[in-house]
Structure 1
Amino acid sequence: MKRWGRVCGAVVVAGVCAASAVPSGPEVEEPVVPTGDPALVAYDSCDTAATALRRAILPHVTEYGLGGPYLTMERTVGDAAPPTARTPEHSTTNRHEAAADEPDLVKTDGRRVVSVVDGRLRVLDVASGTVAGLSDLPGPATGVLLHGDRALVFGVATGDPVDRRIMVDATTVTLVDLSGPPRVLGTLDVDARFVDARQVGDVVRVVVHSAPNLPFGYPDGTVTPRESLRRNQEIAASAPVDAWLPRYRLAESGARSEGALVACDRISHPDVPSATSLLTVLTFDFPGGLGTGDAVTVLADGDTVYGTGTGLYVADARGAGFAPATVTAVHRFDVSRPGPPVYAASGEVPGVVLNQYSLSEHDGLLRVATTLEPDATRTRSSSTVTVLRQEGDKLVKVGAVDGLGHGERVYSVRFAGPVGYVVTFRQTDPLYTLDLSDPAKPRVTGELKITGYSAYLHPAGDGRLLGIGQEADERGRVRGTQVSLFDVTDPEAPTRLAAYHLPGTHSEAEFDPHAFLYRAPVLAVPVGQGVLVLDVADRAITARGTVSHPIPGGSLRSMVIGDELWTVSHAGVRVNALDGLAERAWIPFS
């Protein structure tokens, strides 16, 4: 029985994965073709690329192909107008860096609200409180970005399963004109997994990851594990280079085209290639057409994206073979100029990052917070913050502070200039304050131990820090959503000033910071069948009220537009007065 497989998290530009020895044929000298990127070269021909890629993949082939028996496969099935006058003041998507916007399910420019909930693009007119436009999308959407009268929508198209255990995923990018009724200008399908995207000005960079698609078999009762392994090794050893190349399908301006997203002789790789998958950054210019994204492709993996106004970082946690990840590789792309990014440098740090908030750039340095799990060298987990500096084509270690939260792991991180905050948790919640002003000697300055934990931290003005997570008892059993207000004025003695606890609940904001709205003094987060609205004072948190929605657990996002609070769920949009929360409108989605 055959199936299509995907690559394990093997990797990357920096470092070589350890794996079992598998014959890979004669060594082939790889001619060097400059790519314009430091430390990266391109294969001089497709034959050379195929030989190198086969050699890289063979050590990771198992009787199940590339990974265990349960896998997800990666493959597919005009100028901005200026805003009108008197656009009301409004909140924006909660994002890590102000200079780099992030895609989300709902966006507003103050004049309209654009939603891509449940696979439909809806444009709501703020002034009239009505749905001004509606358009079906090619499939489920993961987010949207706006610029003027244009929207760029990202989706994940799911096809039929290849067999009962494997689903087929793809990335769809759709450019939509919003100057009148929504009108699709172009759609690009890519045989790759959507990782994330960042927007700087009118330029969007989209990161996708693609693994080779090969017809691997697996033990199914008619084939033994040994025989399946032998056959899979033969398949990998003779795989064509096309198996690695993600394909695209573009529909734009009444024309259709398709082909390889990147030519095999334009795949960049390090002098000693070790990755088995491709990491591609696509670039789209809002005022222009959609196109195919002018791909920049590197032999690497990646699952976490962090962006600033000048840099795009992609991090990948990896281990030896199929063992748990032990290090995180980080790749930096320069996005300081218009057009495609330029690969700049790579490095690695011990441990595994939690999410994009584990990374932060400040004064040309990158700080990375990671958790180190128990292994042969340590009996308990702990966490560390490593400071990296770019030197040539490498991100090199400048300093580190180790030993945070022995026996615990990182639950949230926030960096603010030369200061860092790290929450670890197992039974109690140590909030660590870090002094990073001397990058060669970062240090812990303070620690606050309380029950529960914060899953997301948010700066709330001078000396104040907000956290949302779970309250817990002394044994670490969670007891419901909790919002905390911390005083971090004295980094040596952080304190908790106030907490608001809702027993037996969880909030989407604990897992997705885009669901967290803070526009002082108002804090709004989805909880249960609605949105909890709080007032955050200098030393207190009080409830303003709750905005209910018809569908339990369906509340998604909140935004402030003028003097109103707009909350969005799967069922529709509810508009309430910000002062007092009196209902002003209900806009159903059906």
Structure 2
Amino acid sequence: MTRATVTAAVGTLAALTLLAGSAAARPAPEPAPPTAAPRLVSFDTCADALARLRAAASASVGPWGFQPGWRTGFATGGAGEPLALSRAGDGARAAQGATPEHSGTNVHEPGADEPDLVKTDGRRIVTVTGGVLRVVDPATRRTSGRLDLTGDDARPGPGEGSLLLHGDRALVLLRGSTPVLPNGTSARRPAGGPTGARLLLVDLAGRPALVGTYRIDGSLLDARLTGPTARVVVRSQARLVFPEPGDGATEAQRLAANRAAIGRADLDAWLPAYDWTEGDRRGGGRVGCDRLAATADTTGTALLTVLSFDLAAGRLGDGDPVSVAGDADTVYGTAGSLYLAGQRQRPGQLRPRGWGGPAGRDPGTAIYQFDTRAPGRPRYLAAGTVPGTLLDQYALSEWQGHLRVATTSGDDRGSRPTTESGVYVLTRRGDLLTRVGAVTGLGRGERIHSVRYLGPTGHVVTFRRTDPLYTLDLTDPAAPRVTGELKITGYSAYLHPAGPGRLLGVGQEADADGRAQGLQVSLFDVADPDRPTRLARHHLPGAGSAVEFDPHAFLYDPGTGLVALPVHDGGLLLLRVAGATIVPAGTVTHPGRAPVSRSLLVGGVLWTVSDAGLRADDPAGVAGPVRIAWLPAT
């Protein structure tokens, strides 16, 4: 591989348009120093790309491969005002036949829809469960269409499917997987086999009909829909097969054999292959070298591929793929940006997933930003790092040209944890996300359990034995500061805006030793950032909710104060926020105690979804919800 320096010029990176194929600076052969930002570089030739990937993988491999269960084997896994129910304008109502008011998927940012197992546009409810896509007419409360998705060559696993909806098109996303071999490597996909992330394009204009499919090596990380453009992020592992040495082989011999295997591997071991169908037409290919970039300190063990699909076009095509030889586990999107973030790795320094380590050896989090304002392929903009590890996408927030990132650093193992948390403010300068401000030292000895940004204000919950809810003033990016702190027992695992100066928290009550005591829903008054208070709470001993780890399961209607969240006994708990109180409003259950996974509102009717079917209720009943209809899944 030719030696060259990594360019820092934003013009070169912009010219890549996330690697559109033009020549760019050749990658440096040595890893960047720990303090350097993980800039992306492209390659002059496929030979350069192969040499860089081989060198990185050789530096990362050990005598026993890439160590299954370590980060090389990743699991396959600023909002301002609260989101109100959709209200179509007069023109839209006329065009769509007076579409009723309806709730949407509970997403992090407006303008960036997220895939979920149920979607509605007010005219139809679309679900994907148990390998079947169903369409329900909420006006007649009847099933209007059904499409078996299992004929593609593999039945989706339980809870595997999710979907995005645009007009009369539904994009079904099936997570897929890459088989992992005993030595920690991943196998090649058998021809026509069921592995890999799969996408199914369904026409909903009449009876649901499959009009296109797409499959690519790897597993679905996440996706975002901005306008008609769906951008799907797939993570794939290097498909390397290491030899099995004979008995008595030393570790040095094993390492040499593994490196020799890497040295013989071609680009097919790294670059994801894909195939697609469009009616009777079929096609396929592999991500090209001109669509590949790498971080200067890539480990050569994983690739991220971003696919772009125009759902208004009625076809999928090849997805216009671009790949980065890097790693991430978090996708955060806004109406104009896409961020990929994850714990930073370096060759020869692979760490277990979620490893924190003492602050002095913190690997940090790498973040890559892409411009998604224009349709089609996203354009790479910049990269940066922050100390610590992320909880989830809610730890990130783009606001007025800055990115706020909340992380936890340090080691929480043992009786004397060294953890602390902070919020870092980054801005783009050229091709770098540069830190301009930070507030640190939050929750010493604790970890972040939830984050919510509301414009210039941030709210961070840390927990070990008690729950400090920190309020942060982020108005000045160069000088973020803590303005208030509320200590209560338990913690909130999810925070949701509930009107001006109000915040709802869903999590667990805990005793004085930090042991969970059951579901806790709290209403906070954060109007005075110096003195956050809790106005009310609802405690359900021994219970828990999927909302604690999946915000898509949460429903809040600001018009009526209705709160709906699944609980672990299988039912749906209804509450109402009324003034400064939280009032129980009943429960909804499905036959056979089938776990209710989602709830939504269409025209004032509460719809709940489970694998058993859909139920419609009037949520305004005096004694609780009143059942209107039941639509079984079979």
TM-score normalised by length of structure 1: 0.89
Match of 2:124 among 104, 107, 112: 112
SS at 2:504's partner residue? strand
**1:573 equivalent in structure 2:** 614
**2:31 equivalent in structure 1:** none
> Residues 254 and 303 (structure 1 numbering): CA distance in 2 closer, same or farther, change over 3 Å?
same
Match of 1:285 among 285, 295, 310: 310
CA distance in 1, matches of 2:443, 2:395: 16
CA distance in 2, matches of 1:175, 1:334: 25
Offset at residue 538 of structure 1 (A)? 1.9
**1:558 equivalent in structure 2:** 599
Offset at residue 30 of structure 1 (A)? 5.7
Match of 1:183 among 195, 205, 209: 209
> Residues 375 and 458 (structure 1 numbering): CA distance in 2 closer, same or farther, change over 3 Å?
closer
Deviations 1:64-122 (A, max 9, x none): 3122378997999xxx9996302111100000011111000111111111111122111
**2:133 equivalent in structure 1:** 121
**1:478 equivalent in structure 2:** 516
Determine if contact 2:173/2:199 at 8 Å carries over to the other structure: yes
Match of 2:285 among 259, 267, 273: 259
Offset at residue 316 of structure 1 (A)? 1.0
Q: State how 1:25-64 maps to structure 2 within 5 Å.
A: 28-29=2-3, 36-37=15-16, 40-64=40-64
1:466 equivalent in alignment to 2:504: yes
Offset at residue 143 of structure 1 (A)? 1.3
> Residues 161 and 207 (structure 1 numbering): CA distance in 2 closer, same or farther, change over 3 Å?
closer
**2:86 equivalent in structure 1:** none
CA distance in 2, matches of 1:82, 1:72: 53
Offset at residue 217 of structure 1 (A)? 4.3
CA distance in 1, matches of 2:502, 2:245: 57
**2:21 equivalent in structure 1:** none
Offset at residue 578 of structure 1 (A)? 1.9
Offset at residue 190 of structure 1 (A)? 0.4
Offset at residue 227 of structure 1 (A)? 3.5
Match of 1:371 among 400, 408, 417: 408
SS at 2:130's partner residue? helix
**1:145 equivalent in structure 2:** 164
The letter for the 2-side match of 1:56 is A
> Residues 533 and 47 (structure 1 numbering): CA distance in 2 closer, same or farther, change over 3 Å?
same
CA distance in 1, matches of 2:2, 2:512: 60
Deviations 1:227-254 (A, max 9, x none): 4322211111222111111000111121
> Residues 344 and 489 (structure 1 numbering): CA distance in 2 closer, same or farther, change over 3 Å?
same
Match of 2:563 among 507, 518, 523: 523
Deviates more, 1:60-69 or 1:329-338: 60-69
CA distance in 1, matches of 2:385, 2:197: 28
Q: State how 1:211-250 maps to structure 2 within 5 Å.
A: 211-217=237-243, 225-250=251-276
SS at 1:207's partner residue? strand
> Residues 570 and 31 (structure 1 numbering): CA distance in 2 closer, same or farther, change over 3 Å?
same
> Residues 75 and 434 (structure 1 numbering): CA distance in 2 closer, same or farther, change over 3 Å?
closer
> Residues 543 and 75 (structure 1 numbering): CA distance in 2 closer, same or farther, change over 3 Å?
closer
Offset at residue 381 of structure 1 (A)? 0.3
How many residues are matched? 559
SS at 2:176's partner residue? strand
Determine if contact 1:205/1:283 at 8 Å carries over to the other structure: yes
Match of 1:86 among 95, 98, 119: 98
SS at 1:157's partner residue? coil
1:156 equivalent in alignment to 2:175: yes
> Residues 525 and 272 (structure 1 numbering): CA distance in 2 closer, same or farther, change over 3 Å?
closer
CA distance in 1, matches of 2:410, 2:296: 30
> Residues 501 and 273 (structure 1 numbering): CA distance in 2 closer, same or farther, change over 3 Å?
closer
**1:17 equivalent in structure 2:** none
Determine if contact 2:176/2:218 at 8 Å carries over to the other structure: no
Determine if contact 2:604/2:618 at 8 Å carries over to the other structure: yes
**2:331 equivalent in structure 1:** 305
SS at 2:350's partner residue? coil
**Identical aligned residues as a percent:** 50
SS at 2:136's partner residue? strand
**1:541 equivalent in structure 2:** 582
The letter for the 1-side match of 2:16 is D
CA distance in 1, matches of 2:74, 2:365: 22
> Residues 525 and 69 (structure 1 numbering): CA distance in 2 closer, same or farther, change over 3 Å?
closer
SS at 1:235's partner residue? helix
The letter for the 2-side match of 1:148 is G
Offset at residue 191 of structure 1 (A)? 0.1
The letter for the 1-side match of 2:544 is H
Determine if contact 2:293/2:324 at 8 Å carries over to the other structure: yes
SS at 2:67's partner residue? coil
**1:66 equivalent in structure 2:** 66
Determine if contact 1:188/1:250 at 8 Å carries over to the other structure: yes
**1:20 equivalent in structure 2:** none
CA distance in 2, matches of 1:146, 1:175: 10
Q: Which has the higher strand share?
A: 1
Determine if contact 2:368/2:384 at 8 Å carries over to the other structure: yes
Unaligned runs of 5+ in 2: 18-38, 77-91, 188-194, 357-361
SS at 1:173's partner residue? strand
1:192 equivalent in alignment to 2:230: no
Deviations 1:207-266 (A, max 9, x none): 112221011246896755444322211111222111111000111121112221x11233
Determine if contact 2:72/2:350 at 8 Å carries over to the other structure: no
Deviations 1:13-56 (A, max 9, x none): xxxxxxxxxxxxxx643699967138654322222211111011
Deviations 1:465-524 (A, max 9, x none): 000000111111101111000000111111100000111111011110000000021000
Determine if contact 2:68/2:182 at 8 Å carries over to the other structure: no
> Residues 474 and 185 (structure 1 numbering): CA distance in 2 closer, same or farther, change over 3 Å?
same
CA distance in 1, matches of 2:176, 2:247: 32
Determine if contact 1:334/1:341 at 8 Å carries over to the other structure: yes
Give RMSD over aligned pairs. Answer: 2.8
Match of 1:429 among 467, 480, 488: 467
1:420 equivalent in alignment to 2:446: no
Offset at residue 156 of structure 1 (A)? 2.2
Determine if contact 2:40/2:295 at 8 Å carries over to the other structure: yes
**2:322 equivalent in structure 1:** 296
CA distance in 2, matches of 1:37, 1:372: 34
The letter for the 1-side match of 2:134 is R
Determine if contact 1:400/1:441 at 8 Å carries over to the other structure: yes
Determine if contact 1:72/1:167 at 8 Å carries over to the other structure: no
> Residues 553 and 471 (structure 1 numbering): CA distance in 2 closer, same or farther, change over 3 Å?
farther
The letter for the 1-side match of 2:161 is T
Deviates more, 1:526-535 or 1:418-427: 526-535
> Residues 496 and 31 (structure 1 numbering): CA distance in 2 closer, same or farther, change over 3 Å?
closer
The letter for the 1-side match of 2:573 is L
Unaligned runs of 5+ in 1: 1-26
CA distance in 2, matches of 1:536, 1:236: 59
**1:315 equivalent in structure 2:** 341
SS at 2:312's partner residue? coil
Deviates more, 1:273-282 or 1:93-102: 273-282
Determine if contact 1:533/1:546 at 8 Å carries over to the other structure: yes
Deviates more, 1:217-226 or 1:399-408: 217-226
SS at 2:242's partner residue? strand
1:359 equivalent in alignment to 2:384: no
